[in-house]
Chain A
């Protein structure tokens, strides 16, 4: 029950910030805030959605997928395309609504379309490839991510190699963090349910899971599709924030960045994925002033963390693990 209150409070804060138009970051004194910091904060939110959803398949279900950028791209382009086609007619129908209402409806349409198509892509990739294990699955998903990128490069209607321009600015701090909240709550609830136990059992021992009645293929696909759908949502939010999409954003390097986030934070921990997403996004920006040495410093940081904390910063610990009622009396 308390959790619901916490979520409600978070939503309320987001709504107030949105309505009053106060940019939380512009208020902060010591740090010279501005559009740059604002953009990083948005990026952090989007990366949290991506990392937490990727953690569902990589961390909890134990299937090593490195194609998350592909689903991210599918969501981004689908949402942008759907809105570019529908914007005029939707605004005409909703003429009675104020502009932010119209924007909200448009964004939700775009995000749903992005999520659905990314989910379908997840299903299409998942059904044949989740029979594979370990390295083989990794290679297939890596290939899938690249196929998506090359496809986009060659479709003229969505800009091809010129990039997709003129995407309306619909998402903002409010929407990004609303969906961060939705993602975290959904993944958390899934993980602490019969489904979550099934996911983790597949990670621990597939043969035993199957013998205990868990249809492993089906649950792997379920986890893959849910994960892809959230990547699609993140894509939609991203496109409607940057207002410009280019296939180069969605290379396998993006997928690896996400994997680094969840590994650094701790595979199989929601809080770890959040922490990882924040850390990696911020570190990459902080080191920007070192110019060409940025990635060197970044790599050294990674190596050090892996040397001294191979299980990730939080390990598989859950800071806010649901307290299990223990009925035993001893």
Chain B
């Protein structure tokens, strides 16, 4: 069964149709790439899936449950997590706190537990901290745990964003240009990491990326959109030779 099923979604901003009759279907365990030229509507698709925007038409279903129109926080609680194209870490929090925050959706402590520091709260806090540090270790950020997130170098901030997204224990992870601003070596490491994460955490990953090397190297299925419409769908090799895709990227003759 499809873990994410987007059916004929439409999103308009005033007169501009950003996403037009878009459909996509991700099976559990997919490594799915969404590509397209600048302004094609890729990030809008992400925002639709994560509940930042509500589609005017069409449905979005996670494991058969329709989620369009729900609050972003509720969708996150159902198991969709994401990173952002322009990094959105919590700047005044430490690296560790950034990851700990993401466990918020699974919290058991109530307001009173927090105020009186009940045993429920204390055991939960130490659990959260242990898990957070485990995650940081995977991303080689554990030695920076007490550093403010804003003090990290760019590449580490990107990795921290992924770590934070994983801390919500998602079923579906959306990565918005994870390789942006990375050098070839870093991108290569990122490719391995993405594959490894999928296997280790049993994830389905939807990826938006401009770096073709990364997309072609890591994704098993690719959907190309332009002006909010799907123009191609298939395995990397098929996409590369598709004339429509070449036209979208390089312009018509």
Contacts and interface: CB of A to CB of B under 8 A. Distances in A.
Interface of A: 186, 189-190, 193-198, 200-201, 203-205, 207-216, 222, 226, 268, 316, 324-328, 330
Contacts of B116: 189
A197 B84 contact: no
B52 to A, nearest CB: 7
A212 B115 contact: no
A159 to B, nearest CB: 35
Given A193-B125, A211-B50, A212-B164, 20 more contacts: A186-B115, A190-B111, A190-B115, A193-B113, A196-B114, A197-B97, A197-B100, A198-B104, A201-B101, A201-B104, A205-B89, A207-B84, A208-B90, A210-B71, A210-B72, A212-B81, A213-B76, A214-B73, A316-B92, A324-B129
B92 A200 contact: yes
Interface stretch (B139-147, B183-191, B194-202): B139-147
A246 B163 CA distance: 55
Nearest to B126: A325
Contact of B73 (A190, A195, A213): A213
B102 A194 contact: no
19 contacts: A189-B114, A189-B117, A193-B109, A201-B93, A201-B104, A204-B91, A204-B93, A205-B90, A207-B84, A210-B71, A210-B76, A211-B88, A213-B73, A213-B102, A213-B168, A214-B104, A324-B96, A326-B145, A326-B146
Interface residues of B, number: 50
B130 interface: yes
Given A214-B101, A324-B146, A328-B143, A194 B107 contact: yes
B2 interface: no
B222 to A, nearest CB: 24
A187 B34 CA distance: 45
B84 to A, nearest CB: 7
A194 B136 CA distance: 19
A222 B142 contact: no
A210 B73 CA distance: 5
B82 A211 contact: yes
B78 to A, nearest CB: 9
Contact of B88 (A193, A198, A207, A328): A207
Contacts of B74: 215
B92 A203 contact: yes
B76 A212 contact: yes
Interface centre among A194, A207, A327, A330 (most CB of B within 10 A): A194
